[in-house]
Chains A and B, each alone.
Chain A
Amino acid sequence: MAQTGCSNNKITMKKLFNLISLAGICIFGSSCSNNTIYFDLSNQTVNTCSGRYISSLYIEKSDYSEYGTFSVKDGQSGTSSFKINLRGGGYTFDPGSSGKMFVITPNSKFIIKNVSNGDAAASQVVIQTDSTGKVVFASKIACD
């Protein structure tokens, strides 16, 4: 009987630990963050609504001639306000199969997706540049 009791306790403890682990994952991994972004037209930056830094930002030109992912460099903290027409700044750019370094071009449309938290849905904003390459339209210019 004592053995049975001990075994039941082990099962109970295991279940309890599983629940605590699941709760921990949900708390650390899910509930604290989302990828929501907007575009600040006056500063020409992509900003997170949560204030969290951007670790990974996917950008794609509407004709697919340029696309790829900006990723924060190892050891860098990243920023929550990402200036899209500047290179470097603690980020690397992976052009994938496009093979091209990304450049903001005049009179073009781009889709930008914050994919920093891969378990949260990506948040996207569509932008349009004028003849000088300045972003003059964004599908989302403020947080909800």
Chain B
Amino acid sequence: MRSDIPFYANNKGGGAITLGSHPIGATITFTQNWFDDNANHYEDHGYGLNTLDWLDQLSHEVRHMPQIGKAGGYLAYASTALGQYAAYGSHDKAPNEIEADLGSKIFRDFKAFVSKNYGGNALSGLFEAVSRHADIRPTIDKWWSEYQEDHRKKTKNF
């Protein structure tokens, strides 16, 4: 979804916000520049065709959705967020934000793993080739299993 909220400057890259009263049906709202297919617009911040940047941002936002359920609804979620921003002195140090950051951290790690093993454009190529749409899910499932196995071997606690 797109709207004038959030208020991140489109020309600085924009951003997104997750709001809702229940994890199911919560809304992730992106700034306008994410929907512009011309990368040169918004001072080179048009993202429409950059699937990986979309997924990177989404991987953070989706981790806010269970936080809505955990908080117990819209009001509790909003007041928890505000309370955390105030208590920790910034948006970036708020526990809910750090928890959501894990989503994008895992996505970047997965992307790097796929790029290292299947080539730098493997992940973006999979999403962008129209003829391969049927391949997306099984291929992601395969790569994700390999990634988990690799990570399990290295950390033994994944």
Interface of A toward B, CB cutoff 8 Å: 14, 17-18, 21-22, 24-36, 55-56, 58, 60, 62-65, 67, 69, 94, 96-99, 115-123, 144
Interface of B toward A, CB cutoff 8 Å: 5-9, 11-17, 19, 34, 43, 45, 47, 53, 56-57, 60-61, 74-75, 78-79, 81-82, 85-86, 91-93, 97, 100-101, 104-105, 108-109, 112-113, 115-116, 120, 147, 150-151, 154
Check A32 against B91 for contact (C-beta < 8 Å). yes
- In the complex, the number of residue pairs spanning A and B with C-beta atoms less than 8 Å apart equals 134
Check A116 against B92 for contact (C-beta < 8 Å). yes
C-alpha spacing A39/B134, complex, angstroms: 41
Instruction: Please name 8 further chain A to chain B contacts, defined as beta carbons within 8 Å, in addition to the given A29-B17, A117-B15, sorted by A numbering.
Output: A26-B7, A30-B5, A30-B8, A34-B13, A64-B120, A67-B109, A69-B108, A119-B60
A26 contacts which chain B residues (CB < 8 A)?
A: 5-7, 17
A99 contacts which chain B residues (CB < 8 A)?
A: 154
C-alpha spacing A14/B7, complex, angstroms: 23
B16 contacts which chain A residues (CB < 8 A)?
A: 119
Check B97 against A121 for contact (C-beta < 8 Å). no
Check A28 against B43 for contact (C-beta < 8 Å). no
Q: A21-B82, A29-B81, A121-B8 are in contact. Are A115 and B104 (CB under 8 A)?
A: yes
B6 contacts which chain A residues (CB < 8 A)?
A: 26, 29-31, 119
Q: Could you show 19 A-B contacts with beta carbons less than 8 Å apart?
A: A14-B75, A17-B75, A22-B78, A30-B5, A30-B6, A30-B17, A31-B7, A33-B91, A56-B101, A96-B108, A117-B92, A118-B60, A118-B92, A118-B100, A118-B104, A119-B61, A121-B53, A122-B13, A123-B12
Nearest A-chain residue to B112, judged by Cβ: A67
C-alpha spacing A97/B158, complex, angstroms: 11
Q: Per a CB cutoff under 8 Å, which of A29, A35, A60, A118 touches B101?
A: A118
A27 contacts which chain B residues (CB < 8 A)?
A: 7
Nearest A-chain residue to B13, judged by Cβ: A121
B17 contacts which chain A residues (CB < 8 A)?
A: 25-26, 29-30, 119
Q: A25-B78, A30-B6, A31-B8 are in contact. Are A120 and B113 (CB under 8 A)?
A: no
